[in-house]
Amino acid sequence: MQAGALQGIKVLDLSRVLAGPWAGQMLADLGADVIKVERPCAGDDTRAWGPPWLKDAEGRDTRDAAYFFCANRNKRSVAIDIATPDGQALVRRLAAEADVLLENFKVGGLRQYGLDYESLKSVNPRLIYCSITGFGQDGPYAQRPGYDFLIQGMGGLMSVTGPAEVSREPGVAGEPLPEGQGPQKVGVALVDIMTGLYASIGVLAALQHRHATGEGQHIDLALLDVQVAALANQTANHLIGGLVPKRMGNAHPNIVPYQDFPTADGDMIVAVGNDAQFARLAESAGHAEWAGDDRFATNAARVANRAVLIPLLRQATVMRTTREWIERLEAAGVPCGPINRLDEVFADPQVVARGLRVDLPHPVAGTVPGVANPIRLSASPVAYRTAPPLLGQHTDEVLRDWLGD
């Protein structure tokens, strides 16, 4: 087996739930030795976030929820009670040997244990200490707890996610919309995931800085900062264009047509990115004349005349099945695709060919399925070494390997 890109890097992961563990799993996948510090008896919060539960080899529910298994591959678990003096002393000894520490306690939460950055910096000046919080280490909200759903709302993501906004009748502006018609959160904890990825990038940058200077540093990462940064073109539309983006359902604010369309037996996505693709779409729909129509010939014109074009396209798309449309549009070079359920995703030939499902040996379940890391490195590929660990599974092993105990 080839060595991972981060082989030799030691990571002490004091985080729990998703954002921090996602960063830890990323570093572990890349070859780092990631030690997950968990509370004795309870462990990471997500171990209890079931059902569904991992089943043992006889098909019985275990005490570990499926949620835990999405973000803790390739790690070793040690059980340490950091609320006790002995536990704090043990973590300090481990931190003295670590290259990186990940934590997502409230601001100042680890200071009472002597495990904050300044305390551990005195033990290990080369330590890269990554703090993940809801709102960052300063500012008026710094002491507030932060949760993905809350941040999706506060950071603007929900304001542009959900069914297209409708005009309310005069006098009823304060009445609630019907269930499901207002702002919507994304179907996964996307802010946590993005924060985990930004944390990984920050750690890699800090490792390079340490390589050049010998100095460790503190990384201050906030879910709210990440959410605002990740709004991409929507923030640019606002800051540069003076617009306040609104919910548009599955439509795109800057590109038309770029959304879902009904078919004879369901729905599909059409994602036209330029005028040549639109011309091919129009021809495939039996309306080649649309490409020469001044209202539709350019993307800017299509955006301006969205309300005219989209109904015309929908009248055409309902005449064939999803499969027929995809075959027809793919042959014409028009980006398109189905809207798959997860069972259909893992049956998709491309997903199968890319090996996106991985199965790892597990001491209780026999094997545990998971999703492959999407980073494909030619010289130092990701290695799937171990399944997410049992609580405290590696305590003795880690103390021997890191501390010689």
Which strand (E) or helix (H) includes residue 211?
helix 190-213
Amino acid of residue 300: A
Contacts of 48 (CB under 8 A, 6+ apart): 42, 63, 65
Q: Is 192 a catalytic residue?
A: yes
Long-range contacts from 145-151, C-beta under 8 angstroms, 24+ separation? 145/106, 146/222, 146/223, 146/224, 148/18, 148/19, 148/189, 148/190, 148/191, 148/192, 148/223, 149/185, 149/189, 151/191, 151/223, 151/224, 151/227
**For the chain, what's the residue count?**
405
> Burial, 49: exposed, middle or buried (Cβ in 10 Å; 0-12, 13-18, 19+)?
middle
Report how far residue 363's alpha carbon sits from residue 389's, in angstroms, rounded to the nearest whole number. Answer: 9
Q: Which helix (H) or strand (E) holds 77?
A: strand 75-79
Residue tagged active-site, from 44, 99, 116, 192:
192
* Spatial separation of the C-alpha atoms in residues 27 and 324, rounded to whole Å: 43
Which residue numbers are catalytic?
Answer: 192
